[in-house]
Structure 1
Amino acid sequence: LLSGHWNVTDVCNGLLGGFAAITAGCSVVEPWAAIVCGFVASLVLIGCNKLAELLKYDDPLEAAQLHGGCGAWGLIFVGLFANKKYVNEVYGASPGRHYGLLMGGGGKLLGAQLVQILVIVGWVSATMGTLFFILKKLNLLRISEEDEMKGMDIARHGGFAYIYYDDHDDSIQFPRLSPGSPIPRTPTPPAV
């Protein structure tokens, strides 16, 4: 969308962002609202990725942006669009049961969802922050730049994760393997 061409990774991450976002409210929102949630989640993911770039946050898998950002959006979405009928069906009808602000249910559910986001951020910061701090002090958090350039498959695991051939036509060719044939450990060019 922003680069002027399709990128399969971005499309897949956009889909995953939509899935992460609707998980919180899949049982309490209307189908049309689920579509809105997924669409907005893709925009949230783009925004979180831009923020990560700006902050020079190293997350090549976009895990924090995808699960954290889109997941938080999903929690907010429940506070806005939870349907009274579905909430009562799923959680039982009881007096004073709260539902989405934009569905006429007031702001209490939205407030609870915002508190939930703060609790999750606090818990993850305390537990993972401690773990990452210890790993950094033990020099286990990062790999060397040399290993980064080689790739972890070669540097730490001794082989290629993906075997492909580049014949300078910008295409990737995968070798044909028959059942029972050994898997080559180093790439060899195809016979011409």
Structure 2
Amino acid sequence: MKPWFKVMSKVSARTLLFVAFLALIVPSFAQDPAAATEAPPEVAEAVAYLPQEAADIIWLVIAGLLVFFMQAGFAMVESGLTRAKNSCNIMMKNLMDFCIGALAFWAIGYAIMYGENGNSWIGWDSNLLLLGSATAGQDYALSAGWFFQVVFAATAATIVSGAMAERTKFIAYCFYSLIISLVLYPITGHWIWGGGWLSSMGMRDFAGSTVVHSVGAWAALAGAIVIGPRIGKFKDGKSHPIPGHNLPLAALGVFILWFGWYGFNPGSTLLAIGGVSHVAVTTTLAAAAGALGAMLVSWMKFKKPDLSMTLNGALAGLVGITAPCASVTTGAAVIIGFVAGILVFISVMIIEHKFKIDDPVGAISVHGVCGAWGTLSIGLFGSRAVDLPYWDESSAIQDGLFYGGGFHQLWVQFVGVASVFAFTFACGMILFLALKATIGLRVSADEEVSGLDILEHGNEAYPNFVQHD
């Protein structure tokens, strides 16, 4: 996804007023051939071009609103799949992910991610600090680009909430949320979307299977390892289920996330063009295939179709198709989604039962493992013939293995997945170990047993109901 301020030129208030004025006077030119011949060429060019540019800005803002609504989806999923006594804590963390992240991304993060005065490893542009507040309101394209990107940054941050749910200190989580939006997400985003070294290699990640989802998931993996499992999760070397308190709430969250994904993937076109429809179709098919794949494999394993696994299968399909949504055929989208649905089930089983890592909502599997699969799938199914026109003909991007391109693109995608994992996981480990050694990362055993809602926030999500652990 190219920087927005490279895709569009500036649209000022005067320009928009000029377009409105032209809309009134151009019809009169059409009625008077003599007058029409007197209109300068730049007028006709402005009439033909600027309305499209205004439509692009409007589309990007609408897509950003859809992605913002995904915060509600994450909150519902995470709350529904955890216990009632921690529901307010989940809501607070999802709210603060966006509030803290928005301010951090406005202040510094955007300058690191899209600044052109840095290098291939980290961007920088002092004019983008505080989003260029000295000229605020004069560059609508820049504002639209920042708004669309800040909701992506919030999505990466909120993934960690579910993996570390029910035992994390709220103050420690707030500090983490600041760092990922300030540094971790912008740096990896610069590598792939901001003209960094992975972009130069020809890595493709259209809407963020790696840039957004895997970054959040690998940080979540580090956090889950450092903080350890919930009390009672593992006994005598075996995993014991801790059921969520409200599966219908979790299901509602998945539907909200699926809906918001139509801003996430189609919005990443950055332009109001026909290719949006193809991205919407591939997104839909992959999600449906992911849910089907997870349902079938859970049915075979448990002898019953498991709802929570099927919900995660839909999300796995969505995460998997996020990188290749503009680069693959509809048939390939179905395959990618179906494989993601199977992978998420296998990954959850391995992470929980073999590695004894407690991830209450399966965030690491959904966003990390399936994000990696989706990114790699471009090296298998990616086609320049299908790809939307966002890549220069001279770029290093190649067709995938199954489309005659050999292993080149698959190798590039692997390098991207591996490098983002190494950087994010290492930084996550350092960050969470530092928090553990300073302000503390985990609540006390008494707080965990009683629930974080009362002792961390003084609130109860269900004050008139008897709660069961």
Q: Paired residue for 2:425, among 125, 135, 139?
A: 125
Secondary structure of the corresponding residue to residue 116 of structure 1: helix
Mapping 1:1-80, distance limit 5 Å: 1=298, 2-53=301-352, 54-80=354-380
Q: Contact 2:375–2:417 at 8 Å: present in 1 too? A: yes
**Matched AA of 2:375:** L
Secondary structure of the corresponding residue to residue 457 of structure 2: coil
**CA gap 1:158/1:9 in 2 versus in 1, 3 angstroms:** farther
Q: Paired residue for 2:437, among 127, 137, 144?
A: 137
Report the alpha carbon displacement of residue 44 of structure 1 after superposing the two structures with TM. 1.2
Q: Paired residue for 2:386, among 52, 73, 86?
A: 86
Query: Would you say 1:187 and 2:464 are equivalent positions?
Result: yes
1:105 and 1:96 map into 2 onto residues whose CA distance is 12
Mapping 1:163-182, distance limit 5 Å: 163=462
**Matched AA of 2:308:** T
**Matched AA of 1:152:** L
Secondary structure of the corresponding residue to residue 91 of structure 1: coil
Q: Contact 2:378–2:410 at 8 Å: present in 1 too? A: yes
Q: Contact 2:348–2:362 at 8 Å: present in 1 too? A: yes
Q: Contact 1:87–1:99 at 8 Å: present in 2 too? A: no
Runs of 5+ unmatched residues, structure 1: 164-185
Report the alpha carbon displacement of residue 94 of structure 1 after superposing the two structures with TM. 4.0
**CA gap 1:96/1:129 in 2 versus in 1, 3 angstroms:** closer
Secondary structure of the corresponding residue to residue 387 of structure 2: helix
Larger RCO: 1 or 2 (CA < 8 Å, sep 6+): 2
2:395 and 2:346 map into 1 onto residues whose CA distance is 39
1:18 and 1:84 map into 2 onto residues whose CA distance is 22
2:455 and 2:414 map into 1 onto residues whose CA distance is 43
**Matched AA of 1:99:** D
Provide the residue aligned with 1:180 in structure 2.
none
Q: Contact 2:309–2:345 at 8 Å: present in 1 too? A: no
**Matched AA of 1:50:** M
Output the TM-score relative to the length of structure 1: 0.77
1:74-113, CA deviations, whole angstroms, 9 ceiling, x for partnerless residues? Answer: 0111110002302373424348741110111111000000
1:157 and 1:61 map into 2 onto residues whose CA distance is 22
1:121 and 1:56 map into 2 onto residues whose CA distance is 20
1:158 and 1:5 map into 2 onto residues whose CA distance is 39
Q: Paired residue for 1:103, among 398, 403, 418?
A: 403
Q: Contact 1:88–1:94 at 8 Å: present in 2 too? A: no
**Matched AA of 2:464:** P
Q: Contact 2:453–2:460 at 8 Å: present in 1 too? A: yes
Report the number of matched residues: 166
Report the alpha carbon displacement of residue 59 of structure 1 after superposing the two structures with TM. 1.6
- Percent identity (aligned): 33
2:438 and 2:364 map into 1 onto residues whose CA distance is 23
Report the alpha carbon displacement of residue 25 of structure 1 after superposing the two structures with TM. 0.3
Report the alpha carbon displacement of residue 64 of structure 1 after superposing the two structures with TM. 1.6
Runs of 5+ unmatched residues, structure 2: 1-297
**Structure with greater helix percent:** 2
1:3-33, CA deviations, whole angstroms, 9 ceiling, x for partnerless residues? Answer: 2334332222111111111101000000111
